[in-house]
Amino acid sequence: MSSLSVYAHQEREREQRIRSKPVPKHIAIIMDGNRRWAKQHGLPSSVGHWRGADTLRNITEIGSRIGVETLTVYSFSTENWNRSPEEVKALMELFEQYLGRERSSMLKEGVRLGHIGNISELPESLQKTLFDVEKETSCGEKINLVLALNYGGRDEITRAVRSIAEKVKDGSVHPEEVSESLIAQHLDTAPFGFPELLIRTSGEMRISNFLLWQISYAELYVTRKLWPEFSKEEFFHAIEAYQERERRLGG
């Protein structure tokens, strides 16, 4: 047996071991490090973003195969508008091109596209493409891929509170009915639930305004790997670390 065959056999066995234990049904990822990866390799930042898009496709495919039901990824934050107009424009074009490129693959692989965030501030053409692909993939049954676009945890909670306040004002909700459950129902993530595992790449030790309400009891996994170099190996490390922990959920 060749060394390549041995490696493939070991990978299959490892995947089977992972599947034999509880796999987090919902994983959130802060995909950090595209620009740093490009700079390290003497390439334009746009190349780093495209490599990051390829990584996302690979991780979505692997996640689907091992039983992950929802993958929520931090794609563009409310703070990212502070980047240069040129980079923001390039990112918007990348998102639109990515959706167009991945549309057929999502349909074939059973990926159901979703989004969180205030997308009304995104370019109209991107909004249309996003809605079109979401509609086309709505029957996907293998995995939800949720893009956080123009998303910020504080903004999400603010919008949820504002929505509830309007209902209190018109009398459809009474103040004493406001509960954690009601707030959760008004968050962008209501259709997808809360993540059990949050992965952050690039070694930064912060959550950067991502899913502030939802990750109260999520397990955290931080790797120094930059997102474009985040591999199946590292993804499996994260899941195995999750499986080794005792989830007491405050109990």
- Provide the annotated active-site residues: 32, 80
Closest CA to 220 of 240, 192, 200: 200
Residue 236 is classified by DSSP as H
Structure tokens at 243: 């499986």
Q: Are 189 and 211 in contact (CB under 8 A)?
A: yes
